[in-house]
C-alpha cells in the first residue's frame, strides 16, 4: 500500500512538472518579448511609417493593414459561417449531403494555411483577376476561418434549449421566425466569442496572405480593396529574416505589438464570456 | 350533438419502429373540455402533439391516418396557421427568459402585429383571461423566469391565448404545481370554456373528474373508451377503465 | 404577409445553399491544386516527382524530387511528436484530474493564450533565442536546424493535444472511476489503468490532430529550420519541409512555369496527407463519443 502511495506521488509530480513545462515557456516568451520591446514602443513607433528600408521608423501601415484584413475577413466569413451552422443545426436531415457538409468542414479545418495561400492565389489573385489585393487576402482568410466560426456557432445553437424552439413553433411562429427571434438571440454570446477568436487567429496568420495580399514594403495606407497592404505578421517575418542589419529591437517591438493585439482580442473574449455567463437566465 | 371541431381517423403514430398510437378514432366537440387519462407512456402526449403537428420536430416521427380540424384535413393547413389555431400548454411551465410582457407579445408579433397599443391590449386581455393580471400588472417588465411555477404556467396559458387559438391543448399542466396553483389553473380553464375547445391530458384522475366534461381513457397507445366524465368514473363499459379509475393500476 | 413569406423563403434558400458552398470550397481547393499539378506531369513523370531525391528547381535541367521535402517534414514531425505527445497527455491528465478547480481554469486559459500566439512570433523567438541557445548547448554548426523547428512545433501543437485529450479524459464516466476506487485502487492506479485506456481513442485523435497541425505549420519551419532542400541525415541539420518550400519559393516561381506547377503539386500532397489524418481522427473522435 505504501509503495502504491509513493508511486502515486511520483506520478503526480511528473504530471505537474509536465504542465509546468508547458506553462513556463509561455511566460518566458511573453516576458522576453516585453522586456526587449518595452523601451522601443512609443506612439511614434505605432503611428509612423517604416523608414530607411524598414530599419527605422514605425509600423503604422502594417497595423492598419492587419486591422483591414481582419475586418474584411469577418465580413465574408461571419454571414456564411452562421448560415452554414444554422443549416446544420436547424435544417439538415440525417442524409448523405449533410454528412458531406460535415466532412467538408472537418477537412477545411485541417488544411494547412499555406495551402490556403496557394489556393487563394490560384483562384482569387489569378483566376478571378482580383490581383494581390485586400479582397483576395480577405477571401482567402475567410474560407480558412470558416470552420472555427461554424463550430462555435453550432455549439452556441445546440446550447439553446429545445423547449425554446418548441414554444415558439407552438405559438404559430414559422421556422425562420423561431430561429431569428427565439434561437439566435440566445446563441449570440457563443457566436460572438467564436467570432472574436477567429478574428484573433486571422490577425496572426502569415502563410495565407503571403501571395494574396501582403506587401513587402508599402509605406502608405491602402486606397481601395484592390490595393496591397502590409500586415503585422508578415512584416515581422520580413524584418526578422529578409532584411540584413536589421536592428533587433524593431523586430521585438513588432512582435510585441502583434501579441498585444492578439491578446487584447482574447481578453475581450474572456470578458464577453464572463458577462454573458452572469446574464444567462436559463 | 354539438359541432365537431377535431376528428381523427385511423390515426397511427410511430417513433422509429415504435408504434405509439394505434388506430385512434376520436371526435372532439367545439367548446368542450375533454380529458385524456391513462397511465404513463400510453401515448397521451403524443396524441396531443399530433393534433398540432409538434411531433414532427422529432426526426424519426411519422404518422398514418388523417386528422381533421374544422372539417379540413390538417395536411392542407400550414404549420404556423394550424399551431396558431391549436395552442398547447406544456407539462412543465416553459417561459422564455425575457420579460412577462415580451413573453405574451411574442406570438402576436410573429403574426405581424406591430402596433404598441394593440399589443398592450392583447397582453392585458390575455393576462386577465389567465387570472394573472392582478398579480403581475405592476411588473410586466420583470423577467418571466422570476415568477413562481404556478404563475409561470398561467403565463403560458396567457401566452397561448394571446394568439387567439380555437383549441387549447394542456399536457399535464399541473404536474409540477402545488394544489393552490392547480386550483387557479382549473378555474382559468373553467372560465375559458365558453369560447375555447380544451383538451386536458392528465395523470391525475381526480383532476379529470373535476375539470372535464367528457373523458377518454388511453392505454398502451389504444383508445379504450370515451364517454361523459360522469360515466367514465362511475360505470365505464370496459373493465380496464374501471380498474384504472379505481386505482387498481397506473 | 406575402412579402414576409417571400423574404423567409429567400433567407431559407441561402441557408440551405450555404452547406453546398462549404462543400464547393473543398472541391475548389482540390480542383485548383489538381489543375496546376497535372500540368507539371506534361514534362515530368510522376515517378520523378514522388521518388526523386533532388529538389533543384532552378538548376538546368530542374529537378523536382519531393523526397527531401517529404523527409524534412517527416523528421520534424516525428521529433515534434515525440516531444509533445508525452508532455501533452501528462498535462491533460493533470489539468483534467489532478488540478483543483481554480487552478484548472487558470491553466486552461494559459493553454488558450498559447494557442493564440501567432506562429510567426514563435518563429521569431526561434531565431533570436532558441536557435542560438541550442547551437551553444549542443555545439551545433547552426541553430537553424530541424531540432529547433521540432521544439517550436511541439510547443505549438500542445494546445490542440491538451484540449482534445482533456475533453476525452473528462468524458470518461464517473462510474468507471468509482468502481476502481471501490476496489481499493489509488487515484494514480485509477488514472493509469482505467481512465487513460477508456479515453484512449479520444487521445489518439488528439495526437493525430496535433500531428496535423505540425505537418501543416509553415512560418515557424520556414524561419528556423535553415531551409536546405537536401535529404536530411539528422535532425540536427538544416532541412526544409513541404510547407516551407511552397512559402519560400512561390514568390520567385514564374507563374505558369514548371517550378510553379511543382509547388502546386507539393500543395496537393499536403492537402491529401492532412485530409487523411484529419478524417481518421474525426472518425476516432466520433467513435469515442459513442
Q: Do B97 and A281 touch (CB under 8 A)?
A: yes
Q: Do C121 and A87 touch (CB under 8 A)?
A: no
In this structure, is residue A24 part of a structural domain?
no
**Average confidence (pLDDT) over B134-143:** 93
Looking at residue C46, its pLDDT comes to: 86
For residue C26, give the nearest of A107, A122, A251 by CB distance: A107
Answer for the pair A12, C98: CB distance below 8 angstroms, yes or no.
yes
Read off the pLDDT band of C44 (50, 70, 90).
Answer: confident
Q: Do A146 and C22 touch (CB under 8 A)?
A: yes
Read off the pLDDT band of A1 (50, 70, 90).
Answer: low
In this structure, is residue C45 part of a structural domain?
no
In this structure, the answer to whether residues C27 and C109 fall within a common structural domain is: no
In this structure, is residue A5 part of a structural domain?
no
Total domain count, chain C? 2
Q: Do C93 and A233 touch (CB under 8 A)?
A: no
In this structure, the answer to whether residues C66 and C154 fall within a common structural domain is: yes
Distance from CA of A138 to the nearest CA of C (A): 15
Q: Do A241 and C127 touch (CB under 8 A)?
A: yes
**Average confidence (pLDDT) over C164-182:** 89
Q: Output DSSP code: residue C254.
A: P
In this structure, is residue A124 part of a structural domain?
yes
Read off the pLDDT band of C52 (50, 70, 90).
Answer: confident
Answer for the pair C207, C85: CB distance below 8 angstroms, yes or no.
yes
Give me the residues of A, 106-145, that contact C with CB < 8 A.
106-119, 121-123, 126-127, 143
Q: Neighbouring chains of B at 3+ CB pairs within 8 Å?
A: A
Read off the pLDDT band of C284 (50, 70, 90).
Answer: confident
Read off the pLDDT band of B175 (50, 70, 90).
Answer: confident
Taking one residue from A and the other from B, the number of pairs with CB-CB distance under 8 angstroms is: 68
In this structure, the answer to whether residues C177 and C76 fall within a common structural domain is: yes
Q: Do C216 and A205 touch (CB under 8 A)?
A: no
In this structure, the answer to whether residues C212 and C144 fall within a common structural domain is: yes
Q: What fold is seen in the domain B4-245?
A: Rossmann fold (3.40.50)
Answer for the pair B128, B211: CB distance below 8 angstroms, yes or no.
no
Nearest CA in chain C to A210: C247
Nearest CA in chain B to A174: B80
Read off the pLDDT band of A281 (50, 70, 90).
Answer: low
Residue range(s) defining the domain that contains residue C31: 2-40
What's this model's pTM, rounded to 2 decimal places?
0.91
In this structure, the answer to whether residues C160 and C261 fall within a common structural domain is: yes
Looking at residue C177, its pLDDT comes to: 85
Tell me, what CATH number does C228's domain have?
Answer: 1.10.3720.10
In this structure, is residue C118 part of a structural domain?
yes
Looking at residue A224, its pLDDT comes to: 87
Looking at residue B250, its pLDDT comes to: 58
In this structure, the answer to whether residues C23 and C60 fall within a common structural domain is: no
In this structure, is residue C49 part of a structural domain?
no
Looking at residue B106, its pLDDT comes to: 95
DSSP run (H or E) holding A254: helix A248-279
Q: Do B80 and A165 touch (CB under 8 A)?
A: no
A170 touches chain B (CB under 8 A): yes
Read off the pLDDT band of A282 (50, 70, 90).
Answer: low
In this structure, the answer to whether residues C149 and C285 fall within a common structural domain is: yes
| Cβ-based burial of B76 (10 A; exposed 0-12, middle 13-18, buried ≥19) | exposed
Lowest mean pLDDT among A51-55, B4-8, B99-103, C63-67: A51-55
Looking at residue A78, its pLDDT comes to: 96
In this structure, is residue A177 part of a structural domain?
yes
Q: What are phi and psi of B204, to 5 degrees?
A: -95, 105
Sign of CA dihedral A221, A225, A228, A232: positive
User: Does C202 score more than 80 pLDDT?
Assistant: yes
In this structure, is residue C50 part of a structural domain?
no
In this structure, the answer to whether residues C226 and C263 fall within a common structural domain is: yes
pLDDT tens per residue across span A161-174? 999 999 999 999 99
Looking at residue A234, its pLDDT comes to: 95
Q: Do C14 and A83 touch (CB under 8 A)?
A: yes
Total domain count, chain A? 1
In this structure, is residue C109 part of a structural domain?
yes
For residue A169, give the nearest of B59, B83, B94 by CB distance: B83
Answer for the pair A109, A201: CB distance below 8 angstroms, yes or no.
no
Q: Neighbouring chains of C at 3+ CB pairs within 8 Å?
A: A
Cα B112 from Cα B124, distance rounded (Å): 18
Nearest CA in chain A to B145: A281
In this structure, is residue C47 part of a structural domain?
no
Query: pLDDT > 70: what percent of chain C?
Result: 99
Read off the pLDDT band of A276 (50, 70, 90).
Answer: confident
Nearest CA in chain A to C5: A174
* Helix pair B116-129, B179-192: axis angle to 10 deg: 110
Average pLDDT, chain C: 91
In this structure, the answer to whether residues C193 and C221 fall within a common structural domain is: yes
In this structure, the answer to whether residues C95 and C121 fall within a common structural domain is: yes
Tell me, what CATH number does A172's domain have?
Answer: 1.10.3720.10
Residue range(s) defining the domain that contains residue A169: 57-279
Distance from CA of B204 to the nearest CA of A (A): 24
In this structure, is residue A271 part of a structural domain?
yes
Read off the pLDDT band of C31 (50, 70, 90).
Answer: very high
In this structure, the answer to whether residues C62 and C35 fall within a common structural domain is: no
C280 touches chain A (CB under 8 A): no
In this structure, is residue A225 part of a structural domain?
yes
Nearest CA in chain A to B51: A170
Amino acid at each position: 500500500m505504501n509503495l502504491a502511495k509513493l508511486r502515486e506521488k511520483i506520478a503526480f509530480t511528473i504530471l505537474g512538472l509536465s504542465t509546468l513545462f508547458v506553462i513556463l515557456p509561455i511566460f518566458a516568451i511573453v516576458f522576453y518579448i516585453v522586456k526587449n520591446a518595452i523601451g522601443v514602443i512609443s506612439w511614434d513607433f505605432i503611428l509612423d511609417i517604416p523608414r530607411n528600408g524598414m530599419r527605422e521608423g514605425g509600423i503604422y501601415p502594417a497595423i492598419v493593414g492587419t486591422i483591414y484584413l481582419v475586418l474584411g475577413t469577418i465580413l465574408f466569413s461571419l454571414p456564411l459561417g452562421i448560415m452554414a451552422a444554422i443549416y446544420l443545426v436547424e435544417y439538415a436531415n440525417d442524409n448523405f449531403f449533410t454528412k458531406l457538409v460535415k466532412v467538408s468542414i472537418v477537412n477545411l479545418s485541417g488544411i494547412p494555411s499555406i495551402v490556403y495561400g496557394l489556393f487563394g492565389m490560384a483562384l482569387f489573385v489569378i483566376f478571378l483577376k482580383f490581383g494581390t489585393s485586400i479582397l483576395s487576402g480577405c477571401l482567402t482568410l475567410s474560407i480558412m476561418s470558416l470552420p472555427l466560426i461554424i463550430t462555435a456557432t453550432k455549439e452556441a445553437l445546440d446550447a439553446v434549449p429545445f423547449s425554446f424552439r418548441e414554444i415558439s413553433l407552438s405559438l404559430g411562429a414559422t421556422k425562420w421566425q423561431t430561429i431569428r427571434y427565439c434561437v439566435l438571440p440566445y446563441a449570440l454570446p457563443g457566436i460572438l466569442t467564436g467570432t472574436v477568436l477567429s478574428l484573433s487567429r486571422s490577425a496572426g496568420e502569415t502563410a495565407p496572405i503571403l501571395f494574396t495580399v501582403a506587401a513587402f514594403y508599402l509605406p502608405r495606407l491602402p486606397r481601395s480593396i484592390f490595393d496591397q497592404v502590409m500586415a503585422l505578421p508578415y512584416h515581422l517575418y520580413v524584418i526578422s529574416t529578409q532584411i540584413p542589419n536589421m536592428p533587433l529591437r524593431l523586430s521585438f517591438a513588432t512582435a510585441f505589438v502583434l501579441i498585444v493585439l492578439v491578446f487584447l482580442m482574447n481578453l475581450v473574449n474572456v470578458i464577453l464570456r464572463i458577462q454573458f455567463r452572469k446574464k444567462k437566465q436559463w | 350533438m354539438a359541432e365537431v371541431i377535431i376528428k381523427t381517423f385511423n390515426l397511427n403514430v410511430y417513433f422509429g419502429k415504435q408504434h405509439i398510437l394505434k388506430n385512434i378514432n376520436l371526435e372532439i366537440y367545439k367548446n368542450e373540455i375533454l380529458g385524456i387519462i391513462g397511465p404513463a407512456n400510453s401515448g397521451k402526449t403524443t396524441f396531443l402533439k399530433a393534433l398540432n403537428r409538434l411531433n414532427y420536430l422529432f426526426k424519426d416521427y411519422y404518422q398514418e391516418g388523417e386528422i381533421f380540424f374544422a372539417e379540413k384535413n390538417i395536411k392542407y393547413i400550414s404549420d404556423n396557421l394550424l399551431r396558431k389555431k391549436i395552442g398547447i400548454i406544456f407539462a412543465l411551465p416553459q417561459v422564455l427568459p425575457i420579460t412577462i410582457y415580451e413573453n405574451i407579445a411574442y406570438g402576436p408579433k410573429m403574426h405581424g402585429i406591430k402596433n404598441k397599443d394593440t399589443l398592450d391590449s392583447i397582453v392585458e386581455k390575455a393576462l386577465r383571461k389567465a387570472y394573472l393580471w392582478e398579480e403581475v400588472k405592476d411588473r410586466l417588465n420583470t423577467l418571466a423566469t422570476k415568477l413562481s411555477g404556478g404563475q409561470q404556467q398561467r403565463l403560458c396559458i396567457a401566452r397561448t391565448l394571446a394568439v387567439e387559438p380555437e383549441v387549447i391543448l394542456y399536457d399535464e399542466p399541473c404536474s409540477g404545481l402545488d394544489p393552490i396553483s392547480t386550483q387557479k389553473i382549473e378555474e382559468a380553464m373553467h372560465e375559458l370554456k365558453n369560447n375555447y375547445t380544451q383538451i386536458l391530458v392528465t395523470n391525475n384522475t381526480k383532476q379529470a373528474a373535476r375539470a372535464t366534461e367528457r373523458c377518454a381513457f388511453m392505454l398502451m397507445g389504444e383508445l379504450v373508451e370515451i364517454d361523459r366524465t360522469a360515466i367514465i368514473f362511475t360505470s365505464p363499459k370496459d373493465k380496464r377503465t374501471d380498474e384504472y379509475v379505481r386505482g387498481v393500476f397506473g | 404577409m406575402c412579402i414576409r413569406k417571400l423574404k423567409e423563403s429567400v433567407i431559407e434558400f441561402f441557408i440551405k445553399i450555404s452547406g453546398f458552398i462549404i462543400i464547393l470550397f473543398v472541391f475548389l481547393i482540390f480542383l485548383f491544386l489538381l489543375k496546376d499539378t497535372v500540368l507539371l506531369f506534361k514534362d515530368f513523370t510522376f515517378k520523378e516527382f514522388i521518388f526523386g531525391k533532388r529538389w533543384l528547381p532552378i538548376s538546368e535541367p530542374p529537378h523536382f524530387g519531393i523526397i527531401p521535402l517529404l523527409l524534412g517534414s517527416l523528421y520534424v514531425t516525428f521529433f515534434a511528436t515525440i516531444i509533445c505527445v508525452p508532455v501533452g497527455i501528462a498535462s491533460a491528465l493533470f489539468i483534467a484530474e489532478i488540478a483543483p478547480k481554480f487552478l484548472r481554469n487558470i491553466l486552461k486559459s494559459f493553454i488558450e493564450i498559447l494557442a493564440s500566439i501567432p506562429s510567426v512570433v514563435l518563429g521569431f523567438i526561434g531565431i533570436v533565442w532558441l536557435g542560438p541557445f541550442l547551437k551553444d548547448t549542443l555545439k551545433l554548426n547552426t541553430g537553424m536546424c530541424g531540432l529547433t523547428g521540432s521544439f517550436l512545433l511541439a510547443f505549438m501543437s500542445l494546445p490542440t493535444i491538451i484540449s482534445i485529450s482533456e475533453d476525452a479524459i473528462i468524458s470518461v464516466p464517473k462510474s468507471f472511476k468509482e468502481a476502481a476506487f471501490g476496489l481499493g485502487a489509488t487515484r494514480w492506479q485509477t488514472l493509469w489503468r482505467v481512465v487513460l485506456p477508456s479515453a484512449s481513442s479520444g487521445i489518439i485523435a488528439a495526437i493525430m490532430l496535433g500531428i496535423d497541425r505540425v505537418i501543416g505549420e509553415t512560418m515557424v519551419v520556414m524561419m528556423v529550420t535553415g531551409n536546405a532542400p537536401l535529404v536530411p541525415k539528422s535532425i540536427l541539420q538544416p532541412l526544409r519541409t513541404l510547407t516551407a518550400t511552397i512559402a519560400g519559393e512561390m514568390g520567385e516561381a514564374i507563374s505558369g512555369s514548371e517550378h510553379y506547377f511543382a509547388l502546386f503539386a507539393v500543395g496537393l500532397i499536403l492537402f491529401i496527407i492532412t485530409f487523411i489524418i484529419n478524417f481518421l481522427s474525426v472518425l476516432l473522435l466520433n467513435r469515442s463519443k459513442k
